[in-house]
Structure 1
Amino acid sequence: MSIKIEEQRVLQILQDLVRIPSVNPNLDGGVPERKIADYVEAFFARLGLASERREVRPDRPNVIGILPGVLNDVPGLLLEAHMDTVQITNMTIDPFSAELRDGKLYGRGACDTKASIAAMLVAMEWFVTNDIKPHVPVFMAATVDEEVNFLGVLDVLEAGHRFAAAIVGEPTELQAVVAHKGVVRCEIETIGVSAHSSKPEEGVNAISGMMKVVHHIDRTMNDRLRDVTHPLVGQATLNVTEITGGVAPNTIPERCRIKIDRRTIPGEDSDQVWRDIQAEMALFAATDEQLNLIVHPPFVLDYAMDTSPDSEIVRLVTAKAGEKIGEVRTHGVPYGTDASKLTHVGIPSVVFGPGSIDQAHTKDEWVELKQVVLAAEIIVETMLAFGK
């Protein structure tokens, strides 16, 4: 069954979504996701579908719409996409105008990932409008906080629903992503002794100590990762991404901090990687009597994703997409998504959606409208076939 979705309807919904600011509140100029959640909740209400509103944080609710299936006592299909966007700093276009120009819809979040939300909403609407039920229940979750701490998708897992599989909306150019990296982010702090800079011998310079730590990370620890690779996502990586230290130009610094970003690959356990970093730093500090350091607990710890290409959801999405755009192959990406939290608890998931990651977070973010339409059609056809 080949589905055709009306382009103007997709455009209307996508423009509505882009015109609602939802910058993650942890980022510059942040706006809680409440208003866009209101829009999604009202959308489900107009369709006559039950929905759940779950306050993940104040003014930051998830909304889960429920489309009944022919069978309702079986695990359902989850459609998940995040409502938050990154900051609008230095954008060269009006971030919320949702202007359509030469077939491209411009605005913050247009690509990442309100296009996926629009495609999923249109898919849910198609079933109600045509009075057709999918074989199994379908849950659509519009979630908060993917851009920072993944709190939204974690809350979906606490809602008590049973999911047989999931489609996670992200800009993949309608390709099927089955693997991606995880991440461990933490702070390392060196502690010295302050002194007047005219008498440095009376102090212990925390920045000098940190220089040793950074050198050890860049040389020794990174060298060990060269052979830690995965065929779909590439090499595990470790980077120093921020550094702060010192209080005045004439004072030997007592403290210095760095933030590190360790990207894990499928097959690595992010919890174990964190423990290994702790152990490595303890051993390194023991080699230098003046080096006193603390490895603080992770402020982000996420898992790598790896879904079997033979799982039903992957086979269906690749087949349905292939019928629309030609050959679709499963592949991996280096960035992370909400999908890893689902696969970590045993829910086979595929990352799929319109738009290119190359346009995400950019100064003139855009998505090709025709891809959003195709995404909606592919999702509808997948929903029709899943579970039979």
Structure 2
Amino acid sequence: MDENRITEVLSDLVRIPSVNPGFPGGTGEGRVAVYVRQFFERLALSVDVQTVEACRDNVIGTLQGRGGRHLLWEAHMDTVQTSGMTIDPFAAGAREGKLYGRGACDTKASLAAMLVALETMVRHKLIPAAHVHLAAVIDEETTYKGVSALAERVRSGELRYDAAIVGEPTRLHPIIAHKGVLRFRVEVTGVAAHSSTPEQGANAIESMAEVIAWLRQHARESFPSRSHALTGPPSLCISMIEGGVAPNTVADRCTISIDIRTIPGQEWEDVWSELRERILLLPMPAGVKVEVHRPFLTDYAMEVSPDHPLTHTLLAAANTYSAGREAIGAPYCSDASKLTRVSVPAIVFGPGNISEAHTADEWVELAEVAKAAAILIYTAMHYGEEDED
């Protein structure tokens, strides 16, 4: 691979701000979408622009293959906020083999690798075994609107993909299983009173402490036995707490936010329903009411068989260019789960380390981005070859 070309394309992408509008100062993905569309047009590829929201488009380019399978490459264009960064987030500075900037690792490196891989195949007149569709999508960092809109077109039969590679920083390991997420709030309502006579009130904070204690015990006792071979057990985090109105008033209200990471085989609806039922059965003092709110964010866990043809092909490709790669699991979520829910087996793969994502000096190794592009070409050239026998 031409590492100079990798550097050029990744630098172009990083220099274009695409902070998700859900974050302070969010610009949206519009200018990156234009860049990707024009990139496809220069290669004379067919281009499909899917408007998801005003000024927020998914862009899909297609390179025709020689077989009957359709392979999707998918990467998101949005990034998180830039506040707290110690470097210029959009300078795309390169030194000592690394490129720095917001999104350099998560996940413009993956998008750059995919774009340069397509460009390389076109310029060298390589015809992949499967039709390759590269979808640059919006909104992965908040509510998954981009991939959800894409998945809906698959579900309706408008689009067909037999398998997918979803770009995220995985250090070139194919991730074939990852966790889902369930976030909801529990609210306890008590009775206010003067803090000098607490017996005249019903303290919502103290009752919430009982709820928290039960949640922690439940997670310690039940989660380890439900462990998944690749992702490990589910997890529970009480991530926020709010309550009380003044230092001299018995708190009449307390709310916590709960983040649960589910594993493949668990459905968030079942997990939430079970917890809701058991929380509502907890004994509470007179005057105290407990409400378990509907989830405000959910995502599904996913897994792909280690014996799936794409798993075999991508793993062979990864080890051809970067020895020691394995099919592994991850504790986080990605766009892949929305694709697997519409029967598109999706593997998460890309250059960079997740530990560098969203950081104050986000960076990625350029040599690894080049390897990712080579791996993608290898995969495109061989996935679906068995159909030709």
What is the RMSD computed on CA atoms of the aligned residues?
1.7
- Offset of 1:312 from its aligned partner? 0.9
- 1:128 paired with 2:126, answer no
Q: Is the 8 A contact 2:207 2:284 kept in 1?
A: no
Q: Which residue of 1 aligns with 2:261?
A: 263
- Deviations 1:317-371 (CA, angstroms, capped at 9, x unpaired): 1101111122321111111111112222222221111111121111111100011
Write the mapping of 1:62-101 to structure 2, written as runs, cut at 5 A.
62-71=58-67, 74-101=68-95
1:61 and 1:222, CA in 2 relative to 1: closer, same or farther beyond 3 A? farther
Q: Which residue of 2 aligns with 1:214?
A: 212
Bigger Cα displacement from structure 2, 310-319 vs 144-153: 144-153
Indicate which of 7, 20, 26 corresponds to 2:22.
26
Q: Which residue of 2 aligns with 1:343?
A: 340
Q: Is the 8 A contact 2:69 2:384 kept in 1?
A: no
Q: Which residue of 2 aligns with 1:293?
A: 290
Cα distance in 2 for partners of 1:353, 1:327 equals 15
Letter in 1 for 2:63: L
TM-score (norm 1): 0.93
Q: Which residue of 2 aligns with 1:281?
A: 279
- Offset of 1:157 from its aligned partner? 0.9
Letter in 2 for 1:296: H
- Deviations 1:131-168 (CA, angstroms, capped at 9, x unpaired): 33323321111111212222211111123211100001
Q: Is the 8 A contact 2:19 2:79 kept in 1?
A: yes
Q: Which residue of 2 aligns with 1:304?
A: 301
- Offset of 1:198 from its aligned partner? 4.2
Q: Is the 8 A contact 2:60 2:134 kept in 1?
A: yes
1:57 and 1:257, CA in 2 relative to 1: closer, same or farther beyond 3 A? farther
Letter in 2 for 1:326: A
Cα distance in 2 for partners of 1:230, 1:346 equals 21
Q: Which residue of 2 aligns with 1:15?
A: 11
Q: Which residue of 2 aligns with 1:329?
A: 326
* Secondary structure of 1:80's aligned partner: strand
Cα distance in 2 for partners of 1:327, 1:65 equals 32
- Deviations 1:227-251 (CA, angstroms, capped at 9, x unpaired): 2211211121111001112233333
Cα distance in 2 for partners of 1:200, 1:60 equals 53
Instruction: Please list every run of 5 or more consecutive structure 2 residues that lacks an aligned counterpart in the other structure.
Output: none
* Secondary structure of 1:63's aligned partner: strand
Cα distance in 1 for partners of 2:56, 2:247 equals 42
Cα distance in 2 for partners of 1:51, 1:246 equals 55
- Deviations 1:165-205 (CA, angstroms, capped at 9, x unpaired): 00011111111111111111111111123334344344322
- 1:178 paired with 2:176, answer yes
- 1:119 paired with 2:113, answer yes
Q: Which residue of 2 aligns with 1:365?
A: 362
- Offset of 1:67 from its aligned partner? 1.8
1:133 and 1:289, CA in 2 relative to 1: closer, same or farther beyond 3 A? farther
Instruction: Please list every run of 5 or more consecutive structure 1 residues that lacks an aligned counterpart in the other structure.
Output: none
Indicate which of 23, 34, 39 corresponds to 2:35.
39
Letter in 1 for 2:368: Q
Q: Is the 8 A contact 1:222 1:237 kept in 2?
A: no
- Deviations 1:250-288 (CA, angstroms, capped at 9, x unpaired): 33333221110111112222221121122122222x555
1:220 and 1:321, CA in 2 relative to 1: closer, same or farther beyond 3 A? closer
Indicate which of 141, 147, 155 corresponds to 2:149.
155
- Offset of 1:289 from its aligned partner? 4.1
Q: Is the 8 A contact 1:22 1:31 kept in 2?
A: yes
Cα distance in 2 for partners of 1:373, 1:173 equals 12
1:273 and 1:75, CA in 2 relative to 1: closer, same or farther beyond 3 A? farther
Letter in 1 for 2:44: G
1:97 and 1:344, CA in 2 relative to 1: closer, same or farther beyond 3 A? same
Q: Is the 8 A contact 1:78 1:165 kept in 2?
A: yes
- 1:231 paired with 2:229, answer yes
* Secondary structure of 2:162's aligned partner: strand
Q: Is the 8 A contact 1:313 1:386 kept in 2?
A: yes
- Deviations 1:85-141 (CA, angstroms, capped at 9, x unpaired): 122221111111111100000111101110000000111212222233323321111
Cα distance in 2 for partners of 1:346, 1:227 equals 28
Q: Is the 8 A contact 2:191 2:288 kept in 1?
A: no
Cα distance in 2 for partners of 1:44, 1:248 equals 59
* Secondary structure of 2:223's aligned partner: helix
Across the two proteins, how many residue pairs are aligned to each other?
381
* Secondary structure of 1:258's aligned partner: strand
* Secondary structure of 1:252's aligned partner: coil
1:40 and 1:187, CA in 2 relative to 1: closer, same or farther beyond 3 A? same
